[in-house]
Chain A
Amino acid sequence: MNDLFTICKTTYTRILRTRALYLLLAILLLIVAAAHLYHDLTMGREKELMFDTGAVVLAVVGLLTGLVVVFDVARDMREKLVVTLLSKPLGRTQYLLGKFAGVIWAGTINLAILTAGISALLYLENGSGRPEFLKAAFGAWGAMVMATGIGVLLITFLTEIPAVILTLLAFGLGHATERLYQSQWTIGSILFGVLPNFALLQFKSELSNGLAVDWSLIGLSVAYACVYTVALLSVGAILFHRRDLA
């Protein structure tokens, strides 16, 4: 457990030392704040636009977190850190879970910063607090966990670029699983069963339009994301054990 925590902390430190991250967070907050300027364009619905943009920004951060784990593991392999660490009595599963946990830790903090920032902007815009955004943030956290799980799974048997492309593809298709289910193709139904259902974790349409979303539904969706991620990590661990580390 100590080894896992050490890898987790090192990964977290690496991400926090990336200066571009802070710039990115600032830019994302500015994008959300810019919704305030679109009063005429949105015919007075700039508050909804701000909520919607904020939710999209959280989803983007979730996706980026999934890509960060791909780049991070690939970099460890390139720098020969993986072989150096695994030449010590460290298990491959511990390494992989440590990476996952470190990226999730950093991602959670990023989401928390953005959620606090966007909530503050919404408060300024509305003149009162909107706890609904917290619900959207929980959904985004679930999506981030699942996207990171996909990234971990793919980088265990693929190289960097294909893993990035497939993570993006899974994220995109995962938002359209409902359409796949409704399609007439058999393959569509199979994909619906196998692909991660990111649409389950998106509540922005309902929430931005003032519809009620129960906390229990959000809890169930996040639980789905966690169970799906455990399955992804389990398969990833098996594949990583079989991988030849050059």
Chain B
Amino acid sequence: MNVIETTALTKEYLVGWRNQTRLLALDDLNLQVGAGKIFGFLGPNGAGKSTTIKLLLGLITPTKGTGTLMGISIHDKNARERVGFLPEDPSFCTYLRADEFLELCGKMLHLERAARRQRIDELLDLVGLAEKRRTKIAEFSRGMMQRIGLAQALMNRPDLVLLDEPLNGLDPYGRKELKTILHRQKAEGKTVFFSSHILSDVQEMCDEVGILNRGRLIAAGRLSDLLTARHMALSVPELEMDTLKRLEPLATSITRQQQRWHVQLKDPSCKDEAGAVLRQAGQSAIEVHAQSETLEEFFFRRIEEDDHERPVHNL
């Protein structure tokens, strides 16, 4: 069973006062996220990432389509029983102390008093705020706010953790700790679904990603399947001038380093043609480097392709 499943989930907003125009925030989203995965949800600003998360949590009503969390309809408040959520840029109850805020969240999750107190201690330790437990949230920095937000999201040991831009405001230590916490969640069989703009972190942490652009899901799947071999380079000991000239149209660069020629191919598909040129010259590559596309490269390529396929004025 998928932990998250959406079918044709769509959200349209009416914008403006007198001359109302329709803004398609999410367009026919069909998404499945399996259990025990870390799923990264990517997209430019306004792509519909936060809208999707809010739809999943029943905070906004879909224009059409439906979805389930752990098999329960998103319209049913029981679907949120086993879910933890961290909103984007929260500020929470600034008049409460850290432990009082977690106490409030624990009560909302119907945790018993003893279990609640124990969990609060564990979580404050986990997010590194144990010494700030009696500090008012109003005095927290942005990074500390993210930490306390993460603590409340994990209060009920949720099966699904939904995080909206959790890396915002965290320093490198905070980001590292967050990654450790999320990996621990995964190791415990929990599912983590988060949106982010920090593509290097997403690539490092996620098993699967989905990319939204202007409300539409333009790519989704396992990272290993999405990031194909994008760059290929050959190393050759000696090359005649004639062979170099024949390789030039296939390469982005040809350089000489440490007694070797390095031929950076334009495309991995040029590999066979370059091999044929070398064989004709009585040479063969002594090393072939295949470099996968980075998530960042994949992201920009897919967004550009989508923008080309669906120009903005068509919306």
Contacts and interface: CB of A to CB of B under 8 A. Distances in A.
Contacts of B58: 86
A116 interface: no
B187 interface: no
A79 B109 contact: no
A79 B87 CA distance: 10
10 contacts: A2-B110, A10-B93, A10-B96, A13-B95, A80-B91, A83-B87, A85-B105, A87-B87, A88-B105, A244-B59
Interface of B: 13, 54, 57-61, 77-78, 80-81, 83, 85, 87-96, 104-105, 107-110, 149, 152, 156, 162
Contacts of A17: 95
A3 B54 CA distance: 22
A77 to B, nearest CB: 11
Given A2-B110, A3-B108, A246-B60, A83 B92 contact: no
Contact of B61 (A10, A86, A242): A242
Contacts, number: 79
A89 B77 contact: yes
Nearest to B108: A88
Interface in A199-246: 242, 244-246
Interface of A: 2-3, 6, 10, 13-14, 17, 78-81, 83-91, 242, 244-246
Give the 9 A-B residue pairs with the shortest CB-CB distance, closest first: A87-B85, A244-B60, A79-B91, A80-B90, A80-B87, A245-B59, A88-B108, A6-B107, A87-B57
Dominant secondary structure of chain B at its interface with chain A: loop
Contact of A89 (B81, B89, B91, B95): B81
Contacts of B95: 13-14, 17
Instruction: Give the interface centre of A3, A89, A242 by most chain B CB atoms within 10 Å.
Output: A89
B104 A80 contact: no
A241 to B, nearest CB: 9
A17 B61 CA distance: 35
A79 B94 CA distance: 8
Contacts of A81: 92-93
B107 A2 contact: yes
B17 to A, nearest CB: 12
Given A3-B108, A17-B95, A87 B78 contact: no
Contacts of A86: 57-59
Contacts of B80: 87-89
B59 to A, nearest CB: 4
A6 B13 CA distance: 33
Given A2-B110, A6-B107, A79-B92, A89 B78 contact: yes
Contacts of B109: 88-89
A10 B104 contact: yes
Contacts of B108: 3, 6, 85, 88-90
Contact of B93 (A2, A3, A79, A244): A79
Contacts of B59: 83, 86-87, 244-245
Contacts of A6: 104, 107-108
B81 A84 contact: no
Given A6-B108, A80-B90, A86-B58, 17 more contacts: A13-B95, A17-B95, A79-B91, A79-B92, A79-B93, A80-B87, A80-B88, A81-B92, A83-B57, A84-B87, A85-B105, A88-B156, A89-B77, A89-B109, A90-B108, A91-B77, A244-B59
